Structure 1
Amino acid sequence: MKNNKVLVIGSGLGGLSTAISLASEGYDVEIFEKNNKIGGKLNLLEKEGFKFDLGPSIFTMPHIFNELFENAGKNMDDYFRLIPVKPHWRNFFEDNKVIDLVPVTMKNKFRVNGVSEKDKRDLEDFLTYSKKLYDLVDEGYFSKGLDTFKDNIKEYGFIKLLKDLDGLSTVDSQVKKYIDNNYLRDIINFFVKYVGSSPYNAPALLNLLPYIQYQFGLWYVEGGMYNLAKGLSELIDDLNIKVYLNSEVKKILTKNGHAYGIKLHNDKEVNANIIVSNMEIIPAYKKLLNENDEFIKKYDKFEPSCSGLVIHLGLKKVYKNLAHHNFFFSKDPKEHFSTVFDNKELPNDPTIYLVAPTRTDRTQAPEGFDNIKILPHIPYIKEGITEKKYFELKEKIYDKLERMGLDKLRDNILFEEILTPFDIESMYYSNKGSIYGVVSDVKKNLGLKAAKKSEKYEGLYFVGGSVNPGGGMPMAILSGINVKNLILETNI
């Protein structure tokens, strides 16, 4: 091993995965985190006996997390416990229609309440198609860490990429071929929430997402999602990885086209031959490497995903009509997506994701009380969209929820905590307040993200939602595993 010292900038899941993966291979790894605890967007708020997971709230693909622990010679179950979530989702529509997606393990399919037998058969046919996409993507793009269109052409061949992976089709165009029921179509289209994109723009290969949720289940981390971060922190301690909190990196040091270290907020320099940035690639090139506009422009196709208005409410009432995961759909989903992703404006009638974790874990709120997280997708930071407009949108959201089943919601609020895109950008240095990294758009980037290995500096790598394979907790973990493999290939 030529160079075994690695510095990881940021302790989001991508950074933690990289650190654990490389330490498991004998590398000397140090992590530098600007905030006062690890986890990145996997964050926690505790207030008046309530616990709120500020970031991710859906756990799927546990086998990817298992791989991380197994490669370290550890058992994941010794660090945190997973609880299955049932139903997976509850879906509310403006005409009072309510549809649950319920896993039926023995049959390996969903039971869908409130639709016809034909609709159920249509969904089964769609899931067969979804499985085909997953199998193809898993054997190449995921497992081999493919980064560029050229990499994918080499792996799959041009014809297979276009035909079998529906390379130039959109999510919605393929969903329509299988699903006639408008309610089901809207539900399946909204699986792209995992990557913060629009089904009318995102490549059809993302129709693998429903099968992933089917096959690998939907889970909750006992005691709150932040216990995942705590479990990873324990694993880091067991592997003797050094973590420096409240240690913001101000600069990546380079010389003769090679990254050789970092400069901290206190001007202290730390040297190493391998640098891994968990900061998103565009902010990293701007903030840490001071690249010029001409260089940054090459990354224009990697536009930020959507952001969100994240509302956490402590409630003095438990709304029994809610499941753990809930979606309150727009009257016109296509208009909603167009407003957010095409016009970059705040929606008048957003589709709302609402999490009520006490349906699985009563410890998240005091007895007789409740906590909920409300998350509509909204555009990333754009000139002209002010904090005042975000709070005007909040009132529209409350109106919608009260109209669709949360009677007198405002009257039952004990307190509210709100994160705007400005807060998200400030807390995590995400690109323009993006939540999911890079948007998936068939015209802009074919659904691909930036490459994990720097094209300009030797020894510099990137992980997280802005690089392949993209946003979401399992993909962030996978990016770290893939970067480990890249480093092993070039550092023998």
Structure 2
Amino acid sequence: MSDSEKNKRVIVIGAGLGGMSAAIMLARRGFKVTILEKNAQVGGKLNQLQTKGFSFDLGPSIVTLPDIFRPIFEGDGKKLEDYINLQRVDPQWRNFFEDGVVVDLWEKPERMRSELDRFGPEVFGEYKDFLAYSRRQYDIVEAGYLRHGLDTLLQFFRFYGWKEARDLDYLRSMSGSIYKRLSNRYLRDIFEYFIKYVGSSALDSPAFMNLMPTIQMDFGLWYVAGGLYQLGHAFRRRLEETGVTLCLEHEVLEIDRSASTVTGVQVRDSSGDLRTLPADYVVSNMEVIPAMQRLLRSPNSVMKKLRRFEPSCSGIVLHLGLDRVYPQLAHHNFFYSANLHEHFRRVFRDKKLPDDPTIYLVAPTRTDPSQAPSGCDNIKILPHIPPIDPQNPYSPEDYIALKEVCLDKLERMGLTDLRKHIIVEDFWTPFDIEARYASNRGSIYGVACDRRRNFAFKAPKQSSRFHNLFFVGGSVNPGAGMPMVTLSGQHVARMIVEQAAKGRP
């Protein structure tokens, strides 16, 4: 710890994974770190509901790129495996189509060859070639954007140069490059829906986002034994070990500032009292646009510059406890729209609720029977839908009607009499997501990935107006998902350490 770091006060707004990641890394460098979290538990969207013997992961349900978490937990003779037990999930996904075809996505190539041979001798070759192309996209993006935390298009081209970036597939859409390389209709839908990880549309995202299959196929798809919220418990334990002060049920109302410097925050504590807490640095785990609106009272001239960072999709989220098991389900399942492109256009361009949704369904008892009573099933149902339109919002009744559309579809596609077997139900709408997590218009994944609006970039991690204000989470680079938001926290910690070394503020 240098003299420039010693006793520097950092306030982190929000105990999501990005905020906790930054807090842990800074505390290990000797900064005095306090996290202010308005809810009664850590984790942000990583959340949990336990009721009547069922345990539901309310937020994320997939772990990828586990090595990104290692810097948080390693050191002092410890390693990640001392905190959580990761279990590999294979098949990674089971994919159900309207014509009755079911396709499993396996990590091991020899299993995929067996899966795809029924569609013709050329299909597995196309699959292998597509993964090689995906790997090239990942390697390029990882070398700079992910590893070094690049934040702007200018930084991107300075790092790579036009020559080095020549293999990056950015002129086509994600969908366009999939259709160029794959002839099998089922594989096309499967690889297009990898865009679920960032809550966007394959029609509008740049083609280099086809890197996402590599993240899953090369590094594995994982589950945390006992439920994904065990990762939240692990982060909290690490906060305690590194000396971070955690204040739950403390809601930040405003960020104090003077000229180009933020000086602290106004907070309502758990007893309802208002307090002023000074800080040398502030890290916001609240999404950029809500933070700029609510905590900084930013003028319209400032907010206009953020319009390209449109919120990602939202969703209705339905957690069901069932008194029977549906053996045809894998751990992760997708029930596809009959026309996936029409689904993308309706939700992401027309901003309408889907009439034929693609449904993500999680059944964690396939890996962890402890998540439901014996003989019962625990499932989460998530279709992507538009974020809240403040000028013309959908009503709660509209979302309930969509829930019934989803249940109709699942019953039609093989989950016979699903409604009759529901014994526990928990239902979230975009209004619930917005209220609980202060997300931008109920967004689940931060900022939408759009090649014309933002070239798939999210908002920068450092404020352009206040040199000691930083942002973490899904609304900033590198984007959504547990590994990416954790990485954003690590990058912000490094940026603060570098700024402190220069004597600022």
- The TM tier, using the shorter chain, reads over 0.9
- Kindly provide the amino acid, as one letter, of the partner of residue 321 in structure 1: Q
Is contact 2:351-2:386 (8 Å) kept?
A: yes
Q: What is the CA-CA distance between 1:132 and the residue it aligns to?
A: 0.6
Is 1:357 the counterpart of 2:361 in the alignment? no
Shift of 1:180: 0.5
In the alignment, what sits opposite 1:489? 498
Of 209, 217, 220, the match for 1:206: 209
1:278 and 2:285 are equivalent in the alignment: yes
Take 2:114 and 2:500, find their aligned partners in 1: how far apart are those partners?
49
* Alignment correspondent of 2:410: 401
Q: Does 1:443 align with 2:452?
A: yes
- What is the TM-score of this pair, normalised by structure 2? 0.95
Deviations 1:143-196 (A, max 9, x none): 1100000000101123544x4112232111111121100110000010010000
Write the deviation string for residues 446-467 of structure 1: whole angstroms up to 9, x where unpaired. 0000000000012100000000
Instruction: Tell me if structure 2 keeps the 8 A contact 1:45–1:54.
Output: yes
What is the rounded CA distance, in whole Å, between the counterparts of 2:349 and 2:190 in structure 1?
21
Residue 305 of structure 1 aligns with which residue?
A: 312
**Contact 1:24/1:72 (CA < 8 Å) preserved in 2?**
no
Match of 2:339 among 332, 336, 354: 332
| Amino acid corresponding to residue 236 of structure 1 in structure 2 | L
Deviation of 1:111 (Å): 6.0
The separation in 1 between residues aligned to 2:114 and 2:35, in whole angstroms, is 44
Q: Hey, what's the Cα distance between the residues in 2 that align with 1:28 and 1:73?
A: 23
Contact 2:134 2:214 in 1 (8 A): yes
2:190 alignment partner in structure 1: 187
Calculate the aligned-residue CA RMSD, in Å: 1.4
Kindly report which structure 2 residues correspond to 1:398-477, keeping only aligned pairs within 5 A, or say none. 398-477=407-486
Alignment identity in percent?
49
User: What is the Cα deviation at residue 73 of structure 1?
Assistant: 5.5
Q: Which residue in the other structure is 1:58 paired with?
A: 62
Q: What pairs up with 1:222-237 in 2 under 5 angstroms?
A: 222-237=225-240
Partner residue of 1:140?
144
Which letter does structure 2 place at the counterpart of 1:103?
E
Q: Which residue of 2 aligns with 1:255?
A: 258
1:264 equivalenced with 2:271 (yes/no): no
Partners of 2:105 and 2:112 within 8 A in 1? no
Instruction: Count how many residue pairs are aligned between Structure 1 and Structure 2.
Output: 490
Partner of 1:316: 323
Contact 1:21/1:72 (<8 A) preserved: no
Distance in 1 between residues matched to 2:280 and 2:58, nearest whole Å: 34
Instruction: Judge which range, 132-141 or 108-117, deviates more.
Output: 108-117
Change in Cα spacing, 1:111 to 1:307, as seen in structure 2 (3 Å) is: farther
Structure-2 separation of matches of 1:352 and 1:468: 27
Counterpart amino acid of 1:216?
Answer: F
1:110 is displaced (CA, Å) by 7.4
Question: Post-superposition shift, 1:79?
Answer: 0.7
Q: How is 1:376-391 mapped onto 2 (pairs within 5 angstroms)?
A: 376-382=383-389, 383-391=392-400
Aligned counterparts of 2:188 and 2:239: Cα–Cα separation in 1: 43
Q: Does the 8 A contact of 2:112 with 2:124 survive in 1? A: no
Structure 1 position 104, deviation (Å): 1.4
* DSSP 3-state at the match of 2:122: helix
Deviation at residue 136 of structure 1 after TM alignment: 0.8
1:371 aligned partner:
378
Where do 5+ consecutive residues of structure 1 fail to align? none
Task: Compute the displacement of 1:318 (Å).
Answer: 0.3
* Worse-matched range after superposition: 458-467 or 289-298: 289-298
Letter in 1 for 2:89: V
The 5-angstrom pairing of residues 118-157 of structure 1 reads 118-157=122-161
Q: Are the aligned partners of 2:200 and 2:313 in contact in 1 as well (CA < 8 Å)?
A: yes
Displacement of 1:384 in angstroms is 3.5
Aligned to 1:10: 14
- Find out whether 1:34 has 2:38 as its counterpart: yes
| Other-structure match for 2:169 | 166
Structure 1 residue 244 corresponds to structure 2 residue 256 = no
Q: Which moved further from structure 2: 23-32 or 311-320?
A: 23-32
Distance 1:120 1:45, change over 3 A: same
State the 1:85 CA deviation: 0.6
User: Retained in 2: the 8 A contact 1:252–1:289?
Assistant: yes
Poorly superposed stretches of 4+, deviation over 4 Å: 107-111
Q: Distance in 2 between matches of 1:484 and 1:457?
A: 16
Q: Deviations over 1:314-345 (max 9, x none)?
A: 10110000000000000000000101100110
In structure 1, give the amino acid aligned to 2:439.
Answer: S
Superposed counterparts of 1:68-107, under 5 Å = 68-70=72-74, 74-104=78-108
Q: TM-score, normalised by structure 1?
A: 0.97
2:443 and 2:219 map into 1 onto residues whose CA distance is 27
Deviations for 1:212-258, whole angstroms, at most 9, x for unmatched residues?
10111000000000000001111111111110000000011101210
Flag structure 2 segments of 5+ consecutive residues without an equivalent: none
Q: Is the 8 A contact 1:109 1:124 kept in 2?
A: no
Question: How far 1:70 sits from its partner (Å)?
Answer: 2.4
Letter in 2 for 1:144: H
Q: Distance in 1 between matches of 2:179 and 2:346?
A: 21
